Structure 1
Amino acid sequence: MDRRSLIKHAGIAGVLAAGVAPAVHAQQAMRWRIASSFPKSLDTIFGAAEVFAKKVGELSGGKFTITVHAGGELMPPFGVLDGTSNGTVEMAHTAPYYFFGKDPTYALDCAIPFGLNSRQMTAWMYQGNGLSLMREFYANVGIVNFPMGNTGAQMGGWYRKEIKSLADMKGLKMRIGGFGGKVLERIGAVPQNIPGGEIYQSLEKGTIDAAEWVGPYDDLKLGFNKVAPHYYYPGWWEGGPQLTLFVNKKAYDGLSSEYKAMIETAAAYAHTDMQAKYDAKNPAALKTLVSQGTKLHPFPADVMNAAFKAAEQIYAELSASNPAWKKIYADFSAFRRDQNLWFRFTENAFDSFMQRQKL
C-alpha cells in the first residue's frame, strides 16, 4: 500500500501507529523574510508579524522559517509595497492606507474615515466580498493579500493645544496616516505622513502640532503624552483599521498547497491575536496616561460633522474618477449600511447601556 492510500484508509491514528510521518515533513525547507512597516518597540502591531512567523514555524514543524524585519531594516517603512511587488522580499506586514497616494483604493483594505469598525471589517473581508475584491485589485501589482490584525477603534490623537472648535483645525500640522489626511485637509488642517518611529521627535521639536498613532498602549510606550497633553477621541478616520500581510504572488504560487494553507491559517491567528492584545492592554494604559496628567477630550461636534461631510464628498469624487475605487467602495458602503442597521439594535444598544452602569 502506498503512502497516500495508507493515510486515506488508516486515518491519523493508524498513520501514527504505522510510523508514517505527516505530509508536512516531506515539504521542502523554506526560508522567507517579512518586512514590517513598524518599529520593534511596538510589541502589538510589529509583534503581529512575529506571531505569524512563529505560527508558520510551528505548523510546518520548523520547515518553513520566516524572519521578521522592522521598518527601515531591509527597506523604508513605506517601501514595503514596492519591495513585495518586485520580489525584493517575499512578504510584508503593513497598513495599506499608507499607499493611498499611489491609489486611494489601497485604503479600503485598511480603513477610511467613517468606515467599518473592526468586527464589521472582518465580516466584510471573510464573509462579504472584501477579500475577493481586494485580491483582484492587488493582482495588478503581483501581490496576494491576507488580513493580519486590527487595532480596533483608535483614539483621535495628541494635540499640543486644545481644539475647541472647527476653527482650531485651520493650519494645524498633524501627523496622520492614510486617507484621514485628505479629509483633514478639506477642513483646514495640514496632514503629514510620518512613520511611527519619527513622530515623537517631530512633536517634541514643534515640527508638527498634533499626531495620531493608535491608542493608549502604543501611545504610552511612544511617550506622546510628554510632548502633547491633549488626547482626543474618537479616531473617526480609523474605526477599525486592518493590517495586511502582503505576499509576492510569484513566490506564493510556487508554494505547496500545505504551505499556502499554513500562511492563511497563521495570518488569521495573528489577525485575532492583535486585537485581543489591544483590547486587553489599552484600559490600563489609558488609566496610566490620565494619572500622568493627560487631558481627555471628545472632538467638538462641528469638527465631527465637517469631517463627515468632507469624507462623503471625497468618496463621491473618487467614485466618479477611479473605476477601481468605485467598484470596491460600492460594495463596501452597501455592507456598511446593513452593518450599521444591525449594530444599532445590538452592539450599540448593549454597549451604551453597559457603559452607563457603575460596575
Structure 2
Amino acid sequence: MKRREFLTWAGAAGIAATALSGCSSETGEQAGAVTTDGPTPADPIRWKMVTTWPKNFPGLGTGANNIAQYINEMSGGRLVVEVYGAGEIVPALEVFDAVKAGTAEMGHGAAYYWQGKMPAAAFFAAMPFGLTANEMNGWLYHGDGIELWEELYAPHGIIPRPAGNTGPQMGGWFRKPIESLDDFRGLKMRLPGIGGEVLRKLGVSVVNTPGGELFQALNDGTIDAAEWVGPFNDLAFGFHRAAKYYYAPGWQEPSATMEALINREAFEQLPEDLQMIVEGAIRMAAGEMLAEFTARNNRALKTLIDEHGVELRYFSDEIMAALFDKSNEVLAEITGKDAFAKRVFESLTEYRRDVAGWTEGSEFTFLQARQRYLE
C-alpha cells in the first residue's frame, strides 16, 4: 500500500460532515453525501482495538480511547471501535500478533516491543540520543519514516501509523543512587528497546516487564530500577512509593512515538470514506497526546518532589559519555546483523544530521536565552 496522505483536523471534519450530511432544506435530497452500500449506524462495522496499556491508563491508554472515540463519532456510528486494555483479550506483548492474526482489527502500543521479531522496529519508537518529538514527526511525515515502517510491517499484513508521542522521557526510577558506572553493574532493570541493550553492556540485567506489572515488581524488589515514561504517567503508577531516586535525562528516549496497528485486510474492506476517517482519527489523537504530556509533565514532577519527597537527580557526565559510547556499539551491532535495520538507521541518522542544525540554532538557543532572562 502506498503512503496515504493523512487528514488535518479540518480535512477530517470535512470528510465526516460530508459522510453524515443531512437532507437539503430545499430538495430533501442528500447534500453532497458519499454514496456507499456499506454499513449504517443501525448495522455498523465493529472493530476491536487491543492495547499494550492498562485500561484507561492516563495519556497512553486514553490515547487509544481517543482514536476509537473519533472514529465512532466521525463515522456517525457506521464504524464502532471498542478498546481493550492489556490482558483483556491478549497480554500486552501479544498485541502485534493479535492484529496480524485478525483477532483484533487494531492495536495500540510502541514499536520497540516487537524488536525481538524485527530488529528495525525499535527505531520507529525511539533511538538513544535520537530525535525530539518534533524532529521525529518530521522524519515520519516528511522523510522516509512512514514508508519504511509500512514496508517493515507489510509481510505481517499490518499497516502502522504514528499514534502519538510522549515527548522527552525520564532516565528511570532507582532504589539506590546511581553515582558511577559501577552502580549499574548487577542491577535488574526494566527498560525496553535499544536502550535496554545499551544497559546490558554496562552489566545490567534487563527485563521487558509490561507496564501493568511494573509497580509490583519494583515495590517487592523483583527489579531494582524501572523506566516507564515521565512524571505524568509515572505519578499515576505510583512509582514514588517503591523507589526514591528519579533520574534524568531520558537518553534512551528523547521522544517516544506510539503506534496504531491496523489489520490490512480489515482496513481494505472498509469504504474509502471510512478508511480516511480511520487515518484522520489517528492523526488527531496523535497531536492531542503530545499536547497532554507537554502540559502535564511538569505539574506531576512538582507533585513528586514537593509532596512525595522524590529526589530528582541527573546522570553524571561520566555516565552520559559511557551511555553514548555503548549506544553507538549497540546500534552498530543491530545494523550489522539486519539489512533493513541498517536502511532505517541510515535514513534516520541522515535526517538527524540535517535537522539538528535548525533545532540547535533555533529552539536550543531560544530556550537558553529564555531561561537566563526568566531566572
Superposed, 1:271-286 pairs within 5 Å as 271-286=286-301
After superposition, the Cα gap between the structure-2 partners of 1:24 and 1:335, relative to the gap in structure 1 and judged at 3 Å, is farther
Q: CA RMSD in A?
A: 1.8
2:219 matched to 1:214? no
Read off the aligned partner of 1:332 and give its amino acid letter.
L
After superposition, the Cα gap between the structure-2 partners of 1:310 and 1:30, relative to the gap in structure 1 and judged at 3 Å, is same
Given that residues 184 and 202 in structure 2 are in contact (C-alpha distance below 8 angstroms), is that contact kept between their aligned partners in structure 1? yes
Q: Note the C-alpha offset of 1:25.
A: 7.5
Tell me which residue corresponds to 1:4.
none
2:263 matched to 1:248? yes
Read off the aligned partner of 2:309 and give its amino acid letter.
G
Given that residues 133 and 255 in structure 2 are in contact (C-alpha distance below 8 angstroms), is that contact kept between their aligned partners in structure 1? yes
Identity among equivalent positions (%) equals 38
Tell me which residue corresponds to 1:301.
317
CA distance in 2 between counterparts of 1:41 and 1:138 reads 27
CA distance in 1 between counterparts of 2:29 and 2:229 reads 48
Q: Note the C-alpha offset of 1:247.
A: 0.5
Given that residues 24 and 60 in structure 1 are in contact (C-alpha distance below 8 angstroms), is that contact kept between their aligned partners in structure 2? no
1:145 to 139, 160, 163: 160
2:323 matched to 1:323? no
2:94 matched to 1:79? yes
2:57 matched to 1:49? no
After superposition, the Cα gap between the structure-2 partners of 1:41 and 1:258, relative to the gap in structure 1 and judged at 3 Å, is closer
2:135 matched to 1:120? yes
Q: Note the C-alpha offset of 1:90.
A: 0.6
CA distance in 2 between counterparts of 1:175 and 1:196 reads 10
Tell me which residue corresponds to 2:183.
168
Mark the runs of 5 or more structure 1 residues left unpaired by the alignment.
1-10
SS state of the match for residue 154, structure 1? coil
Tell me which residue corresponds to 2:364.
348
CA distance in 2 between counterparts of 1:24 and 1:122 reads 34
Q: Note the C-alpha offset of 1:227.
A: 1.1
SS state of the match for residue 66, structure 1? strand
After superposition, the Cα gap between the structure-2 partners of 1:14 and 1:157, relative to the gap in structure 1 and judged at 3 Å, is closer
Mark the runs of 5 or more structure 2 residues left unpaired by the alignment.
1-17
Q: Note the C-alpha offset of 1:248.
A: 0.8
Given that residues 157 and 233 in structure 1 are in contact (C-alpha distance below 8 angstroms), is that contact kept between their aligned partners in structure 2? yes
SS state of the match for residue 113, structure 1? coil
After superposition, the Cα gap between the structure-2 partners of 1:332 and 1:40, relative to the gap in structure 1 and judged at 3 Å, is same
Q: Note the C-alpha offset of 1:225.
A: 0.6
SS state of the match for residue 246, structure 2? strand
Given that residues 48 and 149 in structure 1 are in contact (C-alpha distance below 8 angstroms), is that contact kept between their aligned partners in structure 2? yes
Given that residues 104 and 179 in structure 1 are in contact (C-alpha distance below 8 angstroms), is that contact kept between their aligned partners in structure 2? no
Read off the aligned partner of 1:344 and give its amino acid letter.
E
Q: Note the C-alpha offset of 1:14.
A: 11
Read off the aligned partner of 1:354 and give its amino acid letter.
R
Tell me which residue corresponds to 2:275.
260
2:49 matched to 1:34? yes
CA distance in 2 between counterparts of 1:120 and 1:55 reads 26
After superposition, the Cα gap between the structure-2 partners of 1:25 and 1:283, relative to the gap in structure 1 and judged at 3 Å, is farther
CA distance in 1 between counterparts of 2:168 and 2:349 reads 18
The two structures have a TM-score, normalised by structure 1, of: 0.93
The two structures have a TM-score, normalised by structure 2, of: 0.90
Read off the aligned partner of 2:310 and give its amino acid letter.
T
Q: Note the C-alpha offset of 1:294.
A: 0.5
